[in-house]
Amino acid sequence: MVDIARIHQPVLLQQCVDLVAPALQAPGSVAVDCTLGLAGHTTAFLKAAPGARVIGIDRDAEALALATERVAGEGLADRFTPVHAAFDELDDVLDELDVPQVQAVFMDLGLSSLQIDETARGFSYAHDAPLDMRMDVSQSLTARDVLAGYDVDGLTRIFRDYGEERFARQIARRIVQVRDAEPLLTSRQLGELVDAVIPAARRGSGNPAKRVFQALRIEVNGELDKLARTLPQAACRLSVGGRLVVESYHSLEDRTVKTFMADGLKADVPADMPVVPPDMQPFFAPLTKGAVKADEAERAANSRAASVRLRGAELIRPLPSRWRREFGHRARGMERMPRRRGRK
């Protein structure tokens, strides 16, 4: 039995509740926790909004089972619906539940506490374990597969783009050089390889393999692509007055969220247009001034809070039909949403 209280410390919990709960005060309100994890945030939302319901989505079946048990133990199961899915299946989940609109969508990105602390899947460079890194163990692609099958250019791309690793190509070359003689199967092997490649004089703080492990995890789970598909689905499903609240833990996630929210904070007109027609007004209003960060006390108590960035936006008018169409295209990956030319 996993001790949930011991391993799970929700980051910026009260700040998240303060952002989400005001949208859930009407009886029958619905929130979606797209990254349920061990239900720390969901449990707090249900307690803060006694008339609301939460749909909790997680692709990790083990986490979903533990979260369901936790919510039931708090006596909140009658207002909670667990769903085993990836969060970019948001539209499908709500369609299946016959929920056309919701009042809040919350995302706590990155690894859950369970995944970080469970050594068997090889997410962490701090423990020697098989290089798996799947959040959903029913999918086929693992970190071992990436390291064994990608060429130098492919490995360089993920280490550079997803890990922002300065020595991406050198690490990729070394992997390709050694893998035929010694397949990379464990986190220890990969950590030692990275350690041998990066010059001691050029290292930042922390473990030199941190960025490589992050990049592999993002690639294996398709995290950034899923995030880019999910945000427009969330916007289309919000009712007016509904809130989108997202916690990010590295710059790539935060940049995606910031860019998406900023798009809705601008008028959809040329900057020199003297009058903004009503249907071209911004459809989001900011709930946070920039990104909220954890204070010194929380960072000291919970190391996972060190890099958090919390952003929130409220839908203040119905989405124009043309943006619903274009958000739909973006959510399905059919085309990129055009850059808006608007003004603040």
Query: 87 a known binding residue?
Result: yes
Sign of the CA dihedral with 305 first, then 207, 224, and 146 last: negative
Bridge-based pairing of strands 284-286 and 309-315 is: antiparallel
Query: 91 a known binding residue?
Result: no
Query: 108 a known binding residue?
Result: yes
Q: How far is CA 48 from CA 38, 139, 181, 244, in A?
A: 18, 36, 57, 17
Query: 58 a known binding residue?
Result: yes
Is the CB of residue 318 less than 8 Å from the CB of residue 236? Answer: no
Backbone torsions φ then ψ of 215, nearest 5 degrees: -65, -45
Query: 154 a known binding residue?
Result: no
Query: 98 a known binding residue?
Result: no
Is the CB of residue 47 less than 8 Å from the CB of residue 70? Answer: no
Is the CB of residue 38 less than 8 Å from the CB of residue 11? Answer: no
Query: 41 a known binding residue?
Result: yes
Q: How far is CA 104 from CA 32, 107, 241, 312, in A?
A: 6, 10, 9, 10
Q: If DSSP codes are grouped into helix, strand and coil, which group holds residue 340?
A: coil
Q: If DSSP codes are grouped into helix, strand and coil, which group holds residue 32?
A: strand
Q: Which amino acid is at 168?
A: A
DSSP 35-75: T-TTSHHHHHHHHH-TT-EEEEEES-HHHHHHHHHHHHHTT
Q: Return the structure tokens found at 80.
A: 């909670």
Residue numbering of the annotated binding site for S-adenosyl-L-methionine = 39-41, 58, 87, 108, 115
Residue numbering of the annotated binding site = 39-41, 58, 87, 108, 115
